[in-house]
Amino acid sequence: MTPLPSADQVWQALAQVPDPEIPVINVVEMGIVRDVRVEGGKAVVTMTPTFSGCPALHVIRENLEQAVRGLGFGEVEVRTVLFPPWSTDSITPEARAKLERYGIAPPRPAGEVGLIELELEPVRCPRCGSLDTSVKNTFGPTLCKSIHVCNACREPFESFKTL
């Protein structure tokens, strides 16, 4: 009988699961996975959804469960906790750099900006670094992102909303 995988191995398996909206980033880097526990033959994964409006929650749950099941657990439980709420501050620095390379302006640290300032402060263009950008559509393709246009290189780009 092979010993069951450790919690560390579960974390490693979860790090292979891409975020459904931003495939260059995995769910661990996104800060979605809060806790992993191995109890007997069972793995318990605790997650917090990112934006409550994001439609990908059931996809994420399924993907997490599948990744952990692949390790050989008989039972996998994915628990969803809403408190404390997920914030864009949960995104790791490595993931922020990946977001920028992917062409999405990463969110600013939530502590640094107030809500009103958030709408007014320019977002840096991930392509040329110019701060001369304007918001095109605050709703964006999903509730998580907004669309901006860079006045310097004239390229539209998405920005991750700070939460």
For Zn ion, give the closer residue by CB, 118 or 153: 153
User: For residues 112 and 37, what is the distance between their CA atoms, to the nearest angstrom?
Assistant: 33
Touching Zn ion, residues 29-88 (CB under 5 A): none
Tell me which of 32, 64, 150, 161 binds Zn ion, using CB under 5 A.
Answer: 150
- Sheet strands side by side (includes 156-160): 104-105, 156-160, 145-150, 133-137
Tell me which of 59, 81, 97, 152 binds Zn ion, using CB under 5 A.
Answer: 152
b/e sequence 5-18, b meaning 16+ C-beta within 10 Å: beeebbeebbeebb
Count, residues near Zn ion per rule CB under 5 A? 7
Tell me which of 7, 135, 153, 163 binds Zn ion, using CB under 5 A.
Answer: 153
Nearest distance from C-beta of residue 133 to Zn ion, angstroms? 7
User: For residues 45 and 62, what is the distance between their CA atoms, to the nearest angstrom?
Assistant: 12
Nearest distance from C-beta of residue 74 to Zn ion, angstroms? 51
DSSP class of residue 135 equals E
For 8, 17, 18, 103, 154, the CA distances from 22, given in Å and listed in that order, are: 24, 11, 7, 11, 23
For Zn ion, give the closer residue by CB, 38 or 125: 125
Distance of CA 147 to the CA centre of its chain: 18
For Zn ion, give the closer residue by CB, 59 or 152: 152
Touching Zn ion, residues 90-149 (CB under 5 A): 125, 127-128, 130
Nearest distance from C-beta of residue 150 to Zn ion, angstroms? 3
Nearest distance from C-beta of residue 140 to Zn ion, angstroms? 17
Residues that bind Zn ion (CB under 5 A): 125, 127-128, 130, 150, 152-153
